[in-house]
Amino acid sequence: MKCVSVSQPWAWAILAGLQEIEYRCYPTDYRGDLLIHASSEVNDWSRRQLALFGRRAPDWEELPFGRVIGLVELWDCEQGSDGIWSWHLRHPRFVKPFRFHAGRRVFDVDDKCVEVLTRKSPGRDWRYGFSSRR
C-alpha cells in the first residue's frame, strides 16, 4: 500500500477531516488509498500550528509521531499557479497505529501491517486506537 509522511499536527488534521488538501512540492500519478504516516519530526513551528485548530485539537503530547496512523483516498493532484501541488484527499479512516521508518515521497508499506479501525463515536474521539504517543 502507498504511504506518505506528514508532519504533525497536519497528519492529525487530515484524519480528523479538517484538512482535505495536502500541499507538496512534487506531483504524483498515484490515485487510491494512501496511508498517512505521522512524521517523527518535531519543531516549535509545528507545535505552534496546533493552535490554529482551537478547541478541536488534542494536546500536543497526545499526538503520535513516527507511526502510520490512518488512511485516506487520494483522488486528485493538481498544480497551483504558485507551482505547489495540491493533493486532494477524502474518506479519512484511522488504522491501528504502527511504527514505520518513512521513506521519501510516496513509499510502500506492506498491506499486512494495516488494520483499519472503526470510530466508536464522533467528535473528539479521534484518539481511538492510539496506544502511545511516541
Domain ranges across the chain: 2-127
pTM, whole model, 2 decimals?
Answer: 0.86
pLDDT given for residue 70 in this prediction = 96
**Separation of CA 51 from chain center:** 17
Q: Going by C-beta distance under 8 Å and a sequence separation of 6 or more, which residues neighbour residue 51?
A: 57
CB 17 within 8 A of CB 68: no
Mean pLDDT of 78-103: 94
**Residue 37 grid coordinates:** 504516516
- 58-85 pLDDT, tens per residue? 999 999 999 999 999 999 999 999 999 9
One of 2.30.130.30, 3.30.450.40, 2.60.120.20, 3.30.465.10 is the CATH number of 2-127, namely 2.30.130.30
Q: Check residues 108 and 119 and name the one with the higher pLDDT.
A: 108
Pick the most confident of 31-40, 53-62, 104-113: 31-40
Q: What is the DSSP string of 44-82?
A: HHHHHHGGGGGGGSPPGGGS--SEEEEEEEEEEEEE-TT
CB 92 within 8 A of CB 122: no
Question: Pick from 42, 59, 35, 63: which is nearest to 134 by CA?
Answer: 63
